Structure 1
Amino acid sequence: MPLDTQAPARPMLRRPVLRTLRLGFVPLTDAAPLLIAQELGLFDAVGLRVTLSAEASWAAVRDKLAFGALDAAHLLGPMPIALAAGLTGVKAQVAVAAGLGANGNTITLSNALAQELGRCKPPLAAAAFAALVRRRAQQGRRPLTLAVVFPFSSHNYLLRHWLAMGGLDPDCDLRLTVVPPPMVAQRLLDGAIDGFCAGEPWGSHAAALGAGRIALSSGDIWPNHPEKVLCFSTEQVRQDPESAIACTAAVIGAARWLDEPANQAEAVNILRRRAFPRLDRAEIASAFAGMAEGLPLAAPLRFRNATLPRRDQAAWWLGQMRRWGHLPAEVSDSTALAPWRQDLWRAAATRLRETEPPAPSPPPPSPDLPETTR
């Protein structure tokens, strides 16, 4: 079936000789700009052959990018900082050329926890959740276990921020663990975890399985926060800057297409075919419709305005990594934020006549933890 790509969505560039890029991603709704760019022929239009490689975990994507098995990747926002600092023994110089989405994660809690919380309409207040955690502690019950998808992830830092808003210390009052995105719903169903923060469609999938309820979205914590990024190895950019710029242009074009309401149904069809063949269509569609369990989200998943990679937004991730002791003090801000390269985005945007997106919502201030938990 022919797709209505619309003239503004297709990068109108002089077609050079086709080159090949190996690009990794984790199957999530915010990988859509990559899948759509390939499906609509936008990579071909800018002279690229792109091989998309679906990976089961963020660690796999990181390692393949760091060690040269991939030229570019769909990465979590804080991951370039972790790579620049060599955290967990993996160090690499990368270049963030574009954002791949804003918002798009949900915090999902088990049915048992939802029942204990009572009639709490989403978004769940941090204070209400903290009261439950303290009540359980007073009763001598085990600490709750919440999962995030990677230690250096927006999910981890936004969840920690939300918990701290309720006066909880995430490292003392609960247990945080890491579970790859495709596994979180089943772990919740099995009772191995009490909740998780993960990108869609996994919160909607957990709800559809009857494993839990969506308590709030990450956009309720920081409206229109940056989420994933398009990241190149700096060696790839050094050797072939044209491919990096052309790829970025194709992704911006796909982001334009994705934010057109008329294209959402086709986007869902493409993602179901390319990334989530075992999921019900309605589970995938929720994020694109800006819904969670039938309720509208205040800050839904969006693409076009998130494409400009902003160092000031990345600085919030950096601040959280320092706050929670995840980054050595000797790593300078300039080193940690060096990966953010607006020059690549601007070169691509110029070819598309893409204007700079409006400034997003500022990040939330970090609450102090109670003295007793420090």
Structure 2
Amino acid sequence: MKHDLRIGFLPLTDCAVLVAAQERGFFEKYDLNVTLQREVSWANIRDRVAFGELDAAHMLAPMPLAATLGIDGLGIPIQTAISIGLNGSAITLATGLMQGIRTHFPEYLHSSPLRATGLKALLEREPGRKLVLGCVYPFSQHYYLLRAWLQDGGLDLEQGVEIRVIPPPQMVNALANGEIDGYCAGEPWNLAAVQRGIGCVAASSYGLWHNGPEKVVGVTQAWADMNPETHLALISALLEAAHWADDRHNRIQLAELLSRPQYLDTPLDLIRAPLLGRYRYAADEPERFLPDFNVFARYAANFPWHSHGRYFLHQMQAAGQLAHAPENPERLLASVYRTATYRQAAAALKLPYPTGDEIPLLGCTTPWVLHEASQPIAMGSNHIALHQLRAI
């Protein structure tokens, strides 16, 4: 019996797992008749999932937790049993700002990833100037990385800095029109600004936090409770799709699928390059090789780690989004991050899966092996370059 599902997504490269599941037949394999619906903003996705217009959706990793905490404006509990991507975003600054740093403060360009120290020094040349930066959603890894990057560079977020919420596809035009000085967003919207010559990438999310959490697929807790078998089928299809998408031999085909009008509707070269690990920070610079710019399955990327939830709780408090820590964080995290559902799907597919819910977020600066698992799992570095995040 076929199960009809409506799944929302935003036009970003990291919706790749959903597109692969649709186009490569993984949804069909599990008797899922899926309609993928392109949405205009993360707030729109939140609303449509919460009110039942979508059964599931591509979501920013902190969104289910914010919804369940009731701090997202709606407060309808959402859960996730699968992550669909690590890394994949960047901080882009207007070309004029980067040229100013190169001209006046070249000594600040030697750090990798670039620190915001040079930006602070440049702004001090123009007293009273307000820096306006775009961010995709308040409850996002983008927001927390952008805040930490600015603070690490010595900028005072309460004085002279405005972070404005803008949907990812609108970022490039906002930069071109002078509405913002830069932004943090996923691809292909950073490379689109680089290609037009209006922006330069200051730092990638991989450079700021190797293999940090990015996107999940979320459903309401009510929907999951009413549809446990369909939910398990969805997670199984997405797991297979994630492994297909992470295979280097499939990346060119994946880029072609994503570029289609119903998905990203974007020039193929903007999608293909980062998927193949080729990334350009500025129009006048050569490509850099970043093989882990998009991770869809490697390094236990699909597991819904409770540790990531703890990190988001910490960031929500630091950003003033959450007044105090929840009374029972373990119960909260168990209700949002459904590790048992993931393990059930992975075991049926004979894929290795973690047997614990926590992962160290600091100290693994080189590749390592996770032994607390059904089979050993090769893991990547989790190096964090931002001092503001090392307190997690």
| TM-score normalised by the chain length of structure 2 | 0.84
Q: Distance in 2 between matches of 1:210 and 1:138?
A: 24
Are the counterparts in 1 of residues 207 and 385 from structure 2 also a CA contact under 8 Å?
no
Match of 1:327 in 2: 322
Match of 1:290 in 2: 277
User: In the alignment, does 2:176 pair up with 1:215?
Assistant: no
What secondary structure, in the 3-state scheme, does the structure 2 residue paired with 1:90 have? coil
Q: CA deviation at 1:292?
A: 2.0
Q: CA deviation at 1:169?
A: 2.9
Q: Distance in 1 between matches of 2:75 and 2:11?
A: 24
Match of 2:152 in 1: 165
Of 49, 53, 67, 2:37 maps to 53
Q: Distance in 1 between matches of 2:83 and 2:314?
A: 19
Match of 2:359 in 1: none
User: In the alignment, does 2:241 pair up with 1:254?
Assistant: yes
User: In the alignment, does 2:21 pair up with 1:24?
Assistant: no
Q: CA deviation at 1:296?
A: 1.9
Q: CA deviation at 1:316?
A: 1.0
Q: Distance in 1 between matches of 2:88 and 2:267?
A: 18
Q: Which has the higher helix share?
A: 1
Of 59, 71, 87, 1:103 maps to 87
Pairing of 1:1-374 with structure 2 (within 5 A): 17-118=1-102, 120=109, 123-126=112-115, 129-273=116-260, 274-277=262-265, 279-293=266-280, 294-297=287-290, 299-305=292-298, 306-329=301-324, 331-332=326-327, 333-334=329-330, 336-337=332-333, 338-356=335-353, 357-359=377-379, 361-362=381-382, 364=384, 367=387
Q: Distance in 2 between matches of 1:366 and 1:133?
A: 16
Q: CA deviation at 1:172?
A: 2.7
Are the counterparts in 2 of residues 31 and 74 from structure 1 also a CA contact under 8 Å?
yes
Q: CA deviation at 1:134?
A: 3.9
Q: Distance in 1 between matches of 2:259 and 2:238?
A: 19
Unaligned runs of 5+ in 1: 1-16, 370-374
Structure 1 range deviating more: 323-332 or 153-162: 323-332
Q: 1:295 to 1:360 in 2, by over 3 A?
A: closer
Which amino acid letter does the alignment assign opposite residue 240 of structure 1? N
Q: Distance in 1 between matches of 2:72 and 2:60?
A: 16
Match of 2:364 in 1: none
Structure ranking higher on relative contact order (CA contacts 8 Å, 6+ apart):
1
Which amino acid letter does the alignment assign opposite residue 146 of structure 1? L
C-alpha RMSD of the superposition: 2.0
Are the counterparts in 2 of residues 30 and 101 from structure 1 also a CA contact under 8 Å?
yes
What secondary structure, in the 3-state scheme, does the structure 2 residue paired with 1:191 have? coil
Q: Distance in 1 between matches of 2:10 and 2:168?
A: 8
Q: Distance in 1 between matches of 2:68 and 2:386?
A: 24
Q: Distance in 1 between matches of 2:144 and 2:119?
A: 21
Which amino acid letter does the alignment assign opposite residue 349 of structure 2? L
Q: Distance in 2 between matches of 1:368 and 1:187?
A: 28
Q: Distance in 2 between matches of 1:50 and 1:75?
A: 17
Which amino acid letter does the alignment assign opposite residue 213 of structure 2? P
Q: Distance in 2 between matches of 1:366 and 1:188?
A: 25
| TM-score normalised by the chain length of structure 1 | 0.88
Q: Distance in 2 between matches of 1:39 and 1:22?
A: 15
Q: CA deviation at 1:171?
A: 3.3
Q: Distance in 1 between matches of 2:33 and 2:236?
A: 14
Q: Distance in 2 between matches of 1:174 and 1:107?
A: 15
Unaligned runs of 5+ in 2: 281-286, 354-376
Q: CA deviation at 1:125?
A: 2.5
Runs of 4+ residues deviating >6 angstroms:
none
Q: CA deviation at 1:21?
A: 1.4
